[in-house]
Amino acid sequence: MPEPGAQLWAKDLPLDAVIHRFTVGEDPELDLQLLPWDCLGSAAHARMLAEAGLLPGSEARLLVDGLRRILNLAGQGAFHILPEQEDGHTAIEAELTRMLGETGKRIHLGRSRNDQVILALRLLMRDAALRLGLRAAQLADAFLAFAEAHRDEPMPGYTHLRRAMPSSWGQWGQAFAEGLLEELQALPEVFRRLDKCPLGAAAGFGVPLPLQRERVADLLAFAGVQRSPVDVINSRGRHELALLGWLASLAGVVEKALWDLSLYSMEEFGFVKVPDAFTTGSSIMPQKRNPDVVELARGKCSEIRGWAGLLRELATGLPSNYHRDFQLQKKPLLAGLRAGEELLEVLNRLVPVLQVDAEASRRASTPELHAAHKALRLAAQGLPFREAYRAVAEELKAGTFAPDPVEAEATHTGGTANLGLEACRAELAEARAWVDRTKARLDSARDAVWDGGLP
C-alpha cells in the first residue's frame, strides 16, 4: 500500500516531475469544489458496504464520521489537496487513513476513481441544476412583476432595429418570463438524465463483489441505477454537456433582454434607466455612466456558450471506456455552472429596479406603427389583404393616415391587451414547485446518509 499522500495507483516506480505536473493539471484546485459531493458519495458507499456484509458496521460508522469531519474542514477552508496527492480522492483516503489507520484504507473497496468521480460529478450536477432552476424561477417572477407593473405602457416593437408595430413594456417583460418558463419546463428532463446512480461500475466493467448498487441509489435519492458499467464511463461528458447545453439555452433567453436594456437605455432612446448602482463612471469623461453590469452579464451569456463548446469538443471523438481526456472536462463544467450562477444572481438584482420612462416610450410610439393593424382590420372587413396593404401605404404616402389605437389593440392571447400573465404565473408556480420538491427529497436523503443508523 502506498504511503498516505501518494497516488492511489503508485507502484514505487519513478515519476518525472514535469510529467506529474502535466497529468495532475488543475485537479487539486478543481476537486475542492467536488470534495463535498465526494465525501457524501463515499459515506453512502461505506454504508452500502456494511449492509452488504463487506465491511463491519463499526468500521463503516468510523468512516462516515471521518468523512463528515473532512467535509467540515473543507467547509472551513482548512482541507487541502496536495499536488503530490493528484486529486481529491487520494486526499480524502489519505486523511481517513491518518485519522483511522487501516480502517481508512477500506473506503476504496469495490470502486474505482472512475465511478467515484462520476458519482461526485453527478451529485454536484443535480444540486447545481436545482439551484440554477430556483434562480431562473426567481428571475421569471421578476420579469412577470415588471410586466404587471408596466402592462399598459406603450413602446415601439422593432424588427431589423426599425420601428415596426405597437408593443408595450408589459409585452416585453412577459416575453422573458415565458422564455425562462420554457427552460424551467425543460429542466426535469435534463435532471432525469442526471438522476441515475453510477457507483458500482468501478473502472467500467463492474467488480466480483456483491455490491448493492440499488441501495446506494436509494441512499442518495437517485431515481435508479445506471445499469451498464460501460455506459457509466461512456456517459462522461454526455450528461455534463446536457446540463451546460440547457444553461446555454437559458442564457440565450436573457441575452436578448440584456441587449435590449443596453440599447433602450441609450440617450437616443431613453426608454429605460439602469440604476446608477449597476453602472460605472468613465476614467476620462466626467458626464459618463456606463452600463457595465448589463454588458458583463451579456458577456457571461457568451462565456457559458464558450464553456459548453469546449466541453463538447473534449467529449467528442473518443472510443468506449475510460480515457484521461475526461479529466479536462471538469474545468468547463464547473466554470460554466459558476458563470450561470453569477449571471442569474446579478439579473435577479437588476430586473426589479429597472426604471421605465413611460413618456419617452410613448413619444416613440408614432402613428405609423399602426399601419399593419389598419390593413388587417380592413382585410377583416372583406377587402383582400394586398389591396388593404396598398390602401394604407397610399395613406401613409399622402400623409392622411390616421390610426385608431384602441381598435388596433391585439386582444388574442399574448397580444398587448391580453398578455396572459395569470396563466404564465400558474405554470411558473408548478415549475418552481417541482424544483422545491426535488430539492427537499435530496436534502432529506443527504441528512440520512450522515445521521442514519448502521448494522
Q: Is the pLDDT of residue 417 over 90?
A: no
pLDDT tens digit string along 315-333? 999 999 999 999 999 999 9
Per-residue pLDDT, 413: 86
Q: Is the pLDDT of residue 446 over 50?
A: yes
Q: Is the pLDDT of residue 380 over 80?
A: yes
What count of Cα atoms within 13 Å lies in the side-chain half-sphere of residue 292?
A: 10
Per-residue pLDDT, 405: 65
What CATH number does the domain located at 17-109 have?
1.10.275.10
DSSP-assigned letters across all residues of 101-123? GGGGGGGGTT--HHHHHHHHHHH
Per-residue pLDDT, 16: 76
Q: What cell numbers appear for 61 in the block?
A: 460508522
Per-residue pLDDT, 429: 98
Per-residue pLDDT, 283: 82
* Residues 2, 87: Cα–Cα separation, whole Å: 15
Mean pLDDT of 132-145: 98
Distances (CA, A) of 101 to 80, 98, 106: 20, 6, 10
* Residues 48, 60: Cα–Cα separation, whole Å: 9
Mean pLDDT of 75-104: 93
Q: Is the pLDDT of residue 362 over 70?
A: yes
pLDDT band, very low/low/confident/very high, at 12 (cuts 50, 70, 90): low
* Residues 455, 452: Cα–Cα separation, whole Å: 10
Q: What cell numbers appear for 351 in the block?
A: 430586473
How far is CA 408 from its chain centroid?
40
Global pTM exceeds 0.85: yes
Per-residue pLDDT, 1: 39
Per-residue pLDDT, 407: 62
Which amino acid type is present at position 43?
A
Of 195, 190, 146, give the one whose Cα is nearest residue 172.
146
> Environment class of residue 261 by beta-carbon count within 10 Å: exposed (0-12), middle (13-18) or buried (19+)?
buried
Where do the structural domains in the chain lie, given as residue ranges? Answer: 17-109, 114-201+227-364+421-448, 367-398
Q: Is the pLDDT of residue 9 over 70?
A: no
Q: Is the pLDDT of residue 424 over 70?
A: yes
Residue with cell 394604407: 392
- Are 247 and 132 a contacting pair, CB within 8 Å? yes
Quick one: fold of 114-201+227-364+421-448? Fumarase C; Chain A, domain 2 (1.20.200)
* Mean pLDDT taken over the chain: 93
Q: Which residues of 108-120 are buried (b: 16+ CB within 10 A; e: fewer)?
A: bebbbbbbbbbbb
Query: Which residues lie below 8 Å from residue 248, measured CB to CB, with a gap of 6+?
Result: 304, 305, 308, 336
Which amino acid type is present at position 327?
Q
Per-residue pLDDT, 4: 47
pLDDT tens digit string along 16-28? 788 878 888 887 8
Mean pLDDT of 230-258: 98
Per-residue pLDDT, 285: 84
Residues known to be catalytic = 160, 282
H or E element, residue 198 = none
pLDDT tens digit string along 146-176? 999 999 999 999 999 999 999 999 999 999 9
DSSP SS3 for 284: coil
End-to-end CA distance of the chain: give it in Å, rounded.
Answer: 28
Give the Cβ contact number of residue 14 at 10 Å.
Answer: 4
Q: Is the pLDDT of residue 349 over 70?
A: yes
